[in-house]
Structure 1
Amino acid sequence: MRTRPVIGVTLDAEEPGGYSKLPWYALRKNYFSAIAAAGGLPVALPHDADLAEAYLDEIDGLVITGGAFDVDPALYGDGDTHPTVTLKAGRTDFELAVTRGALKRDMPVLGICGGQQLLAVALGGTLIQHIPDTVANALEHEQPNPRTEPGHPVAIAPDTLLARVVGTDRMAVNSAHHQAVATPGTGAVVNALAPDGVVEGVESASHRFALGVQWHPEYAVDPADPLIFQAFVQACRHG
């Protein structure tokens, strides 16, 4: 019997240069260490959409990570692509396939930063392509200070999974995004807002645990951040 639930973690991908002369995968260590500290056994998932169901057969929960790229606007019905949008088609194809598969199985899903945006799209939601062009008087969501420090607060919506998990109505969060969720999707709700009204979290009301946060709780800049991983891993123990 497994003592730790196996948590599939999606990777980022880069083109040749820097680490290798060939294409390579990458992910910050603190994603893995935060999952391990919460009691999970993190394993990396390479990008092969054809293997999504095979991976899901082997894991107990899914973490969709962030990265310096965007979900293709065509996937949520937005015909015009903003000049700031950067795509990683192979990664997005895999992440959509494995996320939709996990949701269909009611497997716990945790989306972080861009992973939260992808979760919203998988649930049928839409995105704001570039916050500065859409939200008047927006905060600096690409915060100038280090990611190990908070960039702004968020208000946690009452009577949500996130509120039950963190036990507070306000958190300090780090911020590293130029896009945001516009609409959360069918059966999904917004669970956190920045002071400028930008969506900072979504969750599905029709799944056991399908939670997305726009910030990076793996940095633990707020005392409640580790509680997100603990609640996720706990949900993965009860499949």
Structure 2
Amino acid sequence: MKKPIIGVVPLFDEKKDSYWMLPGYMKGIEDAGGIPVMLPLTTDKDIISSLALAYDGFLFTGGQDINPELYGEKTEVVCGAPCEERDVMENILFKQCIELNKPVFGICRGIQLFNVLLGGTLYQDIPTQMSSNIVHTQKPPYDVPVHRVIIEKETPLYDILGTEFLMVNSYHHQGIKTLSPHLLPAAKADDGLIEAVYMPEKKFAMAVQWHPEFNYKVEDTSFRLFVEFVNSCKIVQTI
């Protein structure tokens, strides 16, 4: 069977004015049987439409905070600087992927992006806006699990991992505050923060708050997420 070609949203370093990529995003897809390709960072609607049609699935990576204007809030001082190009590009790309029923997998910023673009809101800063004794922003090494998530039964995530409890790594200061009406929760931390979501009516539209790209080589559960995503990209349904 032909290997699926999967577009990976680029990371952006404002200080260096450069696009870059974490190897784990790319190698996770490659080791799971896909062909990863880093996308250009663009706000050109025609280019984005061409990308949405050309690739078999898309990985929405971590990165900068999302502009609070996208979920109807003013920017607080605790919010990090957004990347306007990413916000614009991913808004267009994600919505076209959903319309085309292309598989999408979100990691960290990815879960926050899915929620915002589908009508949800975020904590702009968990430490100052949410009461929690859980470490959501760990120090290196980032492949070490630091807190537990509880996986909802009868969800795609439970079907993939086959466990109700999972220890995960964690590196984020924002998170889902109000869940989108178009998403369902798949996992929560012990403090109640939603850590994974999915769209039930889509072929594969799932996102996690933790970082499987950092530990998929040593954590089988992380690798399974990449495998399931890549497998869902092998036969793409369109409308």
TM-score for both structures, normalised by structure 2: 0.92
Three-state SS of the structure 2 residue aligned to 1:49 is coil
1:1-239 to structure 2, matched below 5 A, reads: 3-17=2-16, 23-50=17-44, 51-67=47-63, 69-218=64-213, 219-220=215-216, 222-239=219-236
Q: Is the 8 A contact 1:132 1:138 kept in 2?
A: no
Deviation of residue 138 (structure 1)? 3.4
Amino acid at match of 2:202: H
Structure 2: runs of 5+ lacking an equivalent? none
Q: Which residue of 2 aligns with 1:20?
A: none
Measured after TM superposition, the shift of residue 90 of structure 1 is 0.8
Q: Distance in 1 between matches of 2:91 and 2:130?
A: 27
SS at match of 2:196: strand
CA distance in 1, matches of 2:75, 2:18: 30
Q: Output the amino acid matched with 2:31.
A: A
Contact conserved, 1:145 with 1:151, CA < 8 A, in 2? no
What SS does the aligned partner of 2:149 have?
strand
Over the residues paired in the alignment, what is the CA RMSD in angstroms? 1.4
1:86, 1:141 → 2: CA distance? 19
The share of aligned pairs that are identical, in percent, is 35
For residues 92 and 197 of structure 1, what CA distance do their matches in structure 2 show? 27
Q: Secondary structure at the match of 2:8?
A: strand
Unaligned runs of 5+ in 1: 18-22
Q: Is the 8 A contact 2:9 2:60 kept in 1?
A: yes
* Counterpart-to-counterpart distance in 1, 2:159 and 2:20: 32
CA distance in 2, matches of 1:83, 1:231: 36
In structure 1, how many angstroms separate the alpha carbons of the residues matched to 2:154 and 2:77?
35
Please list every run of at least 4 consecutive aligned residues from structure 1 whose deviation after the TM superposition is greater than 4 angstroms.
none
- How far apart are the structure 2 equivalents of 1:157 and 1:82? 34
Partner Cα separation in structure 1 for residue 178 and residue 160 of structure 2: 23
Question: 2 CA distance for matches of 1:16 and 1:140?
Answer: 28
Partner SS state of residue 220, structure 2: coil
TM-score (ref. length: structure 1): 0.92
Separation in 2, partners of 1:106, 1:89: 25
Q: Is contact 1:172–1:222 with CA below 8 Å preserved after alignment?
A: no
Structure 1 contact 64–110 (Cα < 8 Å) conserved = yes
Secondary structure class of the residue paired with 1:56: helix
CA distance in 2, matches of 1:137, 1:48: 37
Report which stretch shifted further, 168-177 or 72-81.
72-81
